Amino acid sequence: MNRKSITKTTLVALTLSTALAFTGAYATEGSHWDYNDANLTGPSYWGDLSHDYHMCKDGYEQSPIDISSAKDKKIGELKFSYSGTPLSIVNNGHTLQVNYAAGSKLRIGRDVYDLLQFHFHTPSEHTVNGAAAPMEVHFVHVNKAGQLAVVGVMMDFGRANKTLDKILHHAPHEVATVTVDGESVNGRSLMPGREDEAEKFFNYAGSLTTPPCSEGVRWFVLKKRITVSHEQVEEFSHFVHGANARPVQPLNDRTISANDD
């Protein structure tokens, strides 16, 4: 390769990365990863794909986990004050995510968190006594200090969920973000009924379940579940090429708390 062609290649590369940076969705994407170990880019390899992902293999408090034994503990109630949000769906190649407009909150004791987004996994990432559910939805919140609190809701087979139907109907099949004019959703409709508000949950200290697997995440997995139909799980699985669940990680010396009685 002569000098001229090297320069040209460099220019093309720079232009491309600049263009990608401005599309937003790709800006923080980092190295490619997926859920398929056969591609050498699945969960067993995440920690080796980029130095930025090293916590995926070096972390000691990783998520998800199997929830089998929990210690009763007084933990503040979860108080959800979510409002509806204009429907904006991101297909980021790993999941379908609904972005939330500012103003919806989760209060845990004195801590106040803002709801940023919710997204789905199939099968569920957390397991209870070794058993996965067909799907799990994660509500991602952040407080003023930048700390994350994620609420997981297990989804069992049963009646179809109307909100999930709306999301599946409008979701882009390629990597893209769509905002649907005139449609809105409320995350509360993907949680157990209002009478179960501040109901029982499991709580533990964990991480993001996707690269970079950052720790310091407060996890709350609700004991009560919602339902989805077989057709909905099937339809969602097409968006994620079959499955998008990280396997459960070692508990190590963590304790799982439950706010029973």
- State the number of binding residues for Zn ion (CB under 5 A): 1
- Which of the ranges 59-67, 85-93, 133-141, 215-223 carries the binding residues for Zn ion, by CB under 5 A? 133-141
Quick note: the x/- pattern for Zn ion over 172-211, rule CB under 5 A, is ----------------------------------------
- Residue number with the smallest Cβ distance to Zn ion: 138
Rounded to a whole number of angstroms, the minimum distance from the CB of residue 45 to Zn ion is 19
Indicate which residue of 51, 94, 119, 230 is catalytic: 94
* Minimum CB distance to Zn ion smaller for 3 or for 153: 153
Q: How many CB atoms lie within 10 A of CB 100?
A: 24
* Minimum CB distance to Zn ion smaller for 109 or for 216: 216
d(CA 117, CA 222): 17
d(CA 232, CA 119): 14
> Of the candidates 238, 246, 254, which has an alpha carbon nearest to the alpha carbon of residue 212?
246
* Minimum CB distance to Zn ion smaller for 67 or for 73: 67
d(CA 139, CA 191): 10
d(CA 137, CA 140): 10
Instruction: Determine, following the binding rule CB under 5 A, whether residue 126 of this chain makes contact with Zn ion.
Output: no
d(CA 99, CA 151): 15
How far is the CA of 26 from the CAs of 93, 175, 220, in angstroms?
A: 11, 10, 29
- Tokens 């790993």 correspond to 94
Quick note: the x/- pattern for Zn ion over 134-173, rule CB under 5 A, is ----x-----------------------------------
Rounded to a whole number of angstroms, the minimum distance from the CB of residue 117 to Zn ion is 10
* Minimum CB distance to Zn ion smaller for 72 or for 156: 156
* Minimum CB distance to Zn ion smaller for 138 or for 141: 138
Rounded to a whole number of angstroms, the minimum distance from the CB of residue 138 to Zn ion is 4
| 119 flagged as catalytic | no
Rounded to a whole number of angstroms, the minimum distance from the CB of residue 152 to Zn ion is 8
User: What tokens appear for 220 in the block?
Assistant: 């709350």
Rounded to a whole number of angstroms, the minimum distance from the CB of residue 121 to Zn ion is 5
Angle at 248 between CA 243 and CA 254, to 5 degrees: 155
Which segments of the chain does DSSP mark as H helices, in order? 3-22, 46-49, 55-58, 162-170, 230-239
d(CA 180, CA 89): 8
- Report the catalytic residues: 94
Task: Give the residues lining the site for Zn ion (CB under 5 A).
Answer: 138
